[in-house]
Amino acid sequence: MLQAHNMRLVGLQELQGRSAYQPIVHAYGEHRILFVGHHAGEAMNPMTGNVEKNGMSIIDVSDPAAPELLIHVPPTRAEASGTQHVQVCNGSDLPNGDPAKVYLALTDGLLGYEIWDVTDPASPEFLVTVAETGTSSRPESSRGVRETHKIQWECESGIGYFNGTPEGWRVTRALQIYDLSNPETPQHIRDFGLLGYQPGEDGEFPEYYVSGLHQAFAVGNRVYLGYGSGNDGTLQILDRDKLLNGDPNAPDPFAPTEENLLYPQIARLDLPRYWGVHTAKPIYLMPVADYADDGEHSTRDFVLISSEAEEFRCHGARDAMFLVDITEEDKPFPVSSFQVSEEPGDFCNKGGRFGPHSFQDAFHPGFDKTMAVLAYFNAGIRAVDIRNPFHPVEVGYFIPEENANTIEICVDMDGREECDTSVQTNNVNIDDRGLIYAVDRAGTGLHIVELTGPAREIVGLN
């Protein structure tokens, strides 16, 4: 099978062989700096000569053909491991930030959230702890009793949407909202989740409590929450103003009561037990070419959803990407899906996970209503034409090659352990130049890729 179609590799950075989660590109004038959050673990840092717990890598990608690792930043606290999620804002964009600074929000292992000064990306400085995670009231599992996960920071408002453990809640992942308009003096606004997540509830713990919230995605006056990244999923659409301000008629607008948790909800879509909502991103005012002569709704609103593949060697149900029509947003309805075929790549037997993880978080005028770029674990990077949202079609792919850093992944096959070495493309993102950044869960590194041929034409790149 060909390893690339309508894509080509531009640059590679090994990231010291660290398992990587989230890539975020930030413009510093003419320079482009990539911030990469890592999963838990440790590796030798040749720049310091020390074995360091995985934290955050900062890479200069101004020349994408020669990405330069500037620094690896371990977690702040010795008991923390991994800095999976990062967000960056210019101080000049924040309502009360220092216009001379660039700020970064990150997760410090499972223990809390922090703000750093990354004005000089080669020499980041810790500023303040936003908050520490609490302890969940649910029975301890393999996830423990406290977590952090994916975050979003609205630079224009300064609102930070964090994913972690509020004290006493019945999940380890719920929404924690902070005012970071002045990032050096963070203020807690509220905690939020699905009904039944709140502290003080009785009864058994449903299975979907285990994974809880995965990501908040705020756009305009809407916040899209995805729960259950690969199973027992729920999409929740919220009114942002009602979420941030609460019910003015309630005695305590932010108390986690049933009434307060339902107050901002516009819609809720529950998926089957075998699919989840890892990522949910809206696509507004999308023209449907075939509907151009229709009397109404020739332009529609959608939410793009990915359900995360969580099992090795296809042992679970096959996961997919979905397009959900939200033109009538109180009645969200799935209208199409996309999957990579298992053949001819023999992906189920290739090792590791096969299926989608997530697509690009960043907005880009060429991509926004034309193409979704998917991280597809052992099937690499997939470019999907969504111009007809009722019939998404793959137009390109790039499957990285294993290298000396790619870890071996073992799985129990009916009582027999079998091991394979396979890439695990975990997350992708894009920058203003239209370049695609893909990072690998199995330690294979960072791949910088560009679209070619018809795929490049679709997004209007020269």
Can you give the pLDDT at residue 169?
95
What pTM was computed for the model? Answer: 0.96
Examine the pLDDT at 1 and tell me if it is beyond 70: no
CA distances from 447 to 14, 314, 410, 424, 435 (A): 9, 25, 24, 12, 10
Report the run of H or E that residue 436 belongs to, with start and end: strand 436-440
* Percent share of the chain, pLDDT over 70: 98
**What is the rounded average pLDDT of the residues 12-38?**
98
CATH number at residue 342: 2.130.10.10
CA distances from 209 to 85, 116, 139, 323, 382 (A): 22, 32, 11, 25, 31
How many domains would you assign to the chain? 1
Task: Using DSSP, state whether 27 is helix, strand or coil.
Answer: strand
- In angstroms, the CA 447 to CA 265 distance is 39
Structure tokens at 102: 């660039």
Q: What rounded mean pLDDT belongs to the chain? A: 95
Q: How confident is the model at residue 462 (pLDDT cuts 50, 70, 90)?
A: confident
Domain membership of residue 25 as a residue range = 4-458
Question: Backbone phi, then psi, for 352, in 5-degree steps?
Answer: 75, -155
CA distances from 234 to 135, 196, 244, 365 (A): 23, 13, 21, 28
Q: How far is CA 419 from the centre of its chain?
A: 28
- In angstroms, the CA 200 to CA 230 distance is 27
Can you give the pLDDT at residue 227?
96
What strands lie across the sheet with 213-219, from one edge to the other? 213-219, 222-227, 234-239, 265-270
Q: What angle do CA 124, 442, 355 make, to 5 degrees?
A: 115
Can you give the pLDDT at residue 21?
96
Question: Backbone phi, then psi, for 10, in 5-degree steps?
Answer: -100, -45
User: What type of residue sits at position 77?
Assistant: R
Per residue in 163-211, pLDDT (tens digit) is 999 999 999 999 999 999 999 999 999 999 999 999 987 766 666 566 7
Structure tokens at 95: 């309502």
Can you give the pLDDT at residue 322?
98
Can you give the pLDDT at residue 142?
74
Examine the pLDDT at 2 and tell me if it is beyond 70: no
